[in-house]
Amino acid sequence: MKKTLVLVLALVFALASCAAMAEYPEKVDGIDFGGATITIYDYWTSPAQAERQADPNEETAALYAYRDWIEETYNCKLYQVQKGDWGSNVEELINFVNAGVASELCLYILPPDFVGSAMANDYFAAWDSEYIDFTDEKWNKGDVDFMTVGGKVYGVATGASEPRQCLYFNKAVLENAGIDWNTIYDMQADGTWTWAALEELCGKIQQDTDNDGITDVYAMTGNNSDFYIMGVFSNNASFFGFDDEGKLVPTMTSDEAIEGLNWSKRVWETYAMPQPEGSNWDYFKDAFKAGNCGFYMYQTYGGFNDNAELSDTDFDWGCVAFPKGPAEGADYVTVISDNMTVIPNVYDADTVAKLCYIYDLYTNATPGYDDEYAWIGNKYDFTDERAVDETYAMLREAGVANSCLLLGSVNDVLGSPLLWQMWRDPAEVIEESMPQWLALCDTFNN
What's the confidence (pLDDT) of residue 239? 98
Same domain for 49 and 184? Answer: no
User: First CA to last CA across the chain, in angstroms?
Assistant: 49
Please, which pLDDT band fits residue 43 given cuts at 50, 70 and 90? very high
Same domain for 188 and 239? Answer: yes
Residue 141 domain-assigned (yes or no): yes
pLDDT at 10 over 70: no
Same domain for 128 and 101? Answer: yes
How high is the mean pLDDT of the chain? Answer: 93
Same domain for 350 and 393? Answer: no
Task: Evaluate whether 406 touches 444 at the Cβ level (below 8 Å).
Answer: yes
Task: Evaluate whether 268 touches 228 at the Cβ level (below 8 Å).
Answer: yes
Residue 206 domain-assigned (yes or no): yes
User: What is the rounded CA–CA span in Å between residue 164 and residue 226?
Assistant: 10
Residue 20 domain-assigned (yes or no): no
Residue 156, helix vs strand vs coil: strand
pLDDT digits (tens, 9 = 90+) for 140-149: 999 999 999 8
What's the confidence (pLDDT) of residue 67? 97
What's the confidence (pLDDT) of residue 22? 61
For residue 222, what is the enclosing H or E element? Answer: strand 218-222
Residue 314, helix vs strand vs coil: coil
Please, which pLDDT band fits residue 8 given cuts at 50, 70 and 90? very low
Same domain for 146 and 170? Answer: no
User: What is the rounded CA–CA span in Å between residue 180 and residue 398?
Assistant: 26
Residue 92 domain-assigned (yes or no): yes
Lowest mean pLDDT, pick from 81-90, 206-215, 347-356:
206-215
Same domain for 276 and 415? Answer: yes
What's the confidence (pLDDT) of residue 372? 81
What's the confidence (pLDDT) of residue 211? 85
The DSSP code for 191 is: T
Q: What's the rounded mean pLDDT across residues 73-96?
A: 96
User: What is the rounded CA–CA span in Å between residue 323 and residue 400?
Assistant: 15
Residue 40, helix vs strand vs coil: strand
What's the confidence (pLDDT) of residue 212? 86
Q: How far is CA 229 from CA 20, 150, 165, 411, in A?
A: 44, 26, 9, 12
Task: Evaluate whether 302 touches 374 at the Cβ level (below 8 Å).
Answer: no
Instruction: Read off the pTM.
Output: 0.88
Same domain for 133 and 195? Answer: no
State percent of the chain over pLDDT 70. Answer: 95
pLDDT digits (tens, 9 = 90+) for 315-332: 999 999 999 999 999 999
What's the confidence (pLDDT) of residue 252? 98
Sorted by sequence, the CB contacts under 8 Å of residue 36 that are 6+ apart come out as 76, 77, 105
pLDDT digits (tens, 9 = 90+) for 249-293: 999 999 999 999 999 999 999 999 999 999 999 999 999 999 999
User: What is the rounded CA–CA span in Å between residue 318 and residue 382?
Assistant: 9
- Please tell me the total count of domains within the chain: 2
Same domain for 89 and 207? Answer: no
User: What is the rounded CA–CA span in Å between residue 81 and residue 433?
Assistant: 40
Please, which pLDDT band fits residue 15 given cuts at 50, 70 and 90? very low
Provide the H-helix boundaries in 254-317: 255-271, 283-289
Q: What's the rounded mean pLDDT across residues 69-90?
A: 96
pLDDT at 29 over 90: yes
Residue 90, helix vs strand vs coil: helix
pLDDT at 304 over 90: yes
Q: Is the dihedral of CA 309, 371, 182, 235 positive or negative?
A: positive
Residue 299, helix vs strand vs coil: strand
What's the confidence (pLDDT) of residue 414? 97
| Domain ranges, residue 416 | 165-333+379-445
Q: How many CB atoms lie within 10 A of CB 431?
A: 11
Same domain for 224 and 287? Answer: yes
Q: What's the rounded mean pLDDT across residues 214-238?
A: 97
Dihedral, CA of residue 383, residue 8, residue 66 and residue 353, to nearest 10: -60
Query: Which residues pair with residue 249 across a beta bridge?
Result: 241
Burial 376-408 (b: 16+ CB within 10 A, else e): beebbebbbebbbbbbbbbbbebbbbbbbbbbb
State percent of the chain over pLDDT 90. Answer: 83
Same domain for 92 and 175? Answer: no
CATH number of 55's domain? 3.40.190.10
What's the confidence (pLDDT) of residue 1? 53
Residue 280, helix vs strand vs coil: coil
Same domain for 306 and 345? Answer: no
What's the confidence (pLDDT) of residue 14? 45
Please, which pLDDT band fits residue 214 given cuts at 50, 70 and 90? confident
Residue 262, helix vs strand vs coil: helix
Same domain for 295 and 183? Answer: yes
What's the confidence (pLDDT) of residue 255? 98
User: What is the rounded CA–CA span in Å between residue 175 and residue 101?
Assistant: 63
pLDDT greater at residue 11 or residue 63: 63
pLDDT digits (tens, 9 = 90+) for 129-187: 788 899 898 999 999 999 998 889 999 999 999 999 999 999 999 999 999 999 999 99
